[in-house]
Structure 1
């Protein structure tokens, strides 16, 4: 029980946010209307992605310090799962944009920079697959990963705020504040952050165990 409580917690939180997100009341704001419920799914995907990419950077640093193969495996698998959540973030955002802005992709500054940030991590995967020697691959990938993370943060969280954007909170466009994001929404959104991050971490641990078993069988 001590080993699975957090898995149960993550599952319960995600189930709760899925049900409450569809059934509880939300503020009736112009343009957004009922599509504001997508906030419970779109933003937590990015939060889970950032959590997983942070884990990846941590283990990349550990690998450079200690050279343990397990740290390299943890770094790559957390990136693999983080990319899945980044794609889910893009898809849920595109669906939301279709209903509020009229098209799936409007080349909004935040959409563009987010796409570039995700491509940084696809490049990470390409880099790993282009190097055959294990230690060299792990070392170069770790260095790349450490530099990619702050670049991703700048692309997603800093640069879009320097110019006009359709996204809330950018370029004079008001964000979700205490007026918009009322107590009903916070009661769903905050558990969604935690729940999806736990689920992402759970998936990452499963992938890590599978890769560890495969490496032992191939050695």
Structure 2
């Protein structure tokens, strides 16, 4: 039980943020209205994705130094789970865009760059599947990851701010400030972010255990 406290915490935070996110009051803002509740789901998905990709590059670099197959497995399983959260981030964003902007995909800079950043990691997975030899695959994947991660950061956080964007906080469009993200929303938003990050990490550990068992049997 002591070792699993963070798993229980993650599950409770996600349960709380889901229920509270649907039932608690939110600011009545123009355009957004009730769709602002999607903030509790859309943004935490991206945070979880970034944490998992950060974990991936850590173990990718570590595998280059240690040449441990288990470090390489940790790196790829982090990407596998991170990509799922990235896709969920895109889908929840598309639903939000439909209600706020009138269409699922408006070719907003942040939408485009986020999609490209995910394609970088789909390419990582394709690259791995194209190489049969284990050590070579681990080395090339780790080197690719070293370049993919900073490119992902630039695509998501830097380039959209240089262009006009419908997204809050980009291109002169103000983000969720103290007026918009009031105390009620903070009580749900921050637990949601932490909860989904913990759940994402939990899924990653499960996938790693399965992969390591499969590797031992080979």
- The alignment yields a C-alpha RMSD, in angstroms, of 0.5
The CA deviation at 1:171 is 1.0
Quote the Cα distance in structure 2 between the aligned partners of 1:192 and 1:62: 30
Deviation at 1:46, TM superposition (A): 0.1
Q: Compute the TM-score of the two structures, normalised by the length of structure 1.
A: 0.99
Mind listing any 5+ residue stretches in structure 2 that lack a counterpart?
Answer: none
Query: Which residue matches 2:143?
Result: 143
Equivalent runs, 1:205-216 vs 2, <5 Å: 205-216=205-216
Q: CA deviation at 1:215?
A: 1.0
**Structure 2 residue aligned with 1:29:** 29
Alignment of 1:76-115 (within 5 A): 76-115=76-115
The equivalent residue for 1:5 is: 5
C-alpha deviation, 1:217, in angstroms: 1.3
- The aligned counterpart of 2:72 is 72
Runs of 4 or more, structure 1, over 3 Å off, are: none
Q: How many pairs were matched up?
A: 218
Q: How many Å separate the matches in 2 of 1:212 and 1:41?
A: 31
Matched residue SS, 1:170: coil
Match of 2:189 in 1: 189
CA deviation after TM superposition for structure 1 residue 58, in Å: 0.5
| Per-residue deviation, 1:49 | 0.2
Aligned residue number for residue 201 of structure 1? 201
Partner residue in 1 for 2:170? 170
